[in-house]
Amino acid sequence: MILDKFSLKGKVAIVTGSNTGLGQGICKAFAEAGAKVVGVSRRPSTETAEMLGNNFYNVIADLSSCAVIPSVLKQTLDKFGRVDILVNNAGIIKREDSIDFSEGNWDSVMNVNLKTVFFLSQAVARQFIAQKSGGKIINIASMLSYQGGIRVPSYAASKSAIKGITMSLSNEWAKYGINVNGIAPGYMATNNTEALRQDGERSADILARIPAGRWGTPEDLEGAAVFLASSASDYVNGFTLAVDGGWLGR
């Protein structure tokens, strides 16, 4: 049956940025599809844990440093014995005119949004290879993987690079049965977009361009995430799927 291909029963997923927003929604969707979920967050994912119960385990880690990666993987294996799916969702954004943009703002965004994403993917891919079972990596990109944005140069650079390394890693790791894909959310009602949604002029401009006529929600991302994490997407590799209400087609 085709719906069986979308099941994540028996799978173990690591999802970064699990305490709110898109990460929380992905954790919920994976658990509903049958997976055990390890949520990685800088602060306790209390609400997510209450929602998912025994299907969820929280690892507290600051992903601004790659030093936490061995512990994230070890705790996952100690708890559930394996890992089958990685979602690199955690990300930060700094807004400042490019003419004044600070080195600190640049480095903080690039560390979380790109450097740790690459090295966590590398560590998990090595585990996939050791397990000899393949695996799925999903990188959360952005509309700014395709566009330049305004006052967010480091975010645009990091998300453009996410789209690039998604293609690069898919080329190298497909031979191990590892699929690496991305999701580019459109303008979602999350913490990262709060400043935009509070700016009446900018919010109106954004909504005017979205054919769906609304900001996206975490629920809008759930189907794409389950698809790319499941065997239904076994022949999809290196592609970044836009979930944007039609923004890029406008």
Tell me how far CA of residue 131 lies from CA of 30, 40, 79, 84, 94, in angstroms. 21, 22, 16, 9, 38
- The SS3 assignment for 146 reads coil
Contact predicate 37/52, CB 8 Å: yes
- Per DSSP, 182 falls in state E
Catalytic residue among 57, 146, 155, 235: 155
Tell me how far CA of residue 58 lies from CA of 39, 186, 243, in angstroms. 5, 27, 27
Q: Distance between CA atoms of 138 and 90, rounded to whole angstroms?
A: 12
* Runs of H (alpha helix) within 33-137: 46-52, 69-80, 103-110, 116-131
Q: Could you confirm whether 155 is annotated as catalytic?
A: yes
What tokens were used for 220? 């809008």
Compute the chain's Rg from CA coordinates: 17
Contact predicate 139/229, CB 8 Å: no
What tokens were used for 150? 């305004």
Q: Distance between CA atoms of 175 and 218, rounded to whole angstroms?
A: 32
Catalytic residues: 155
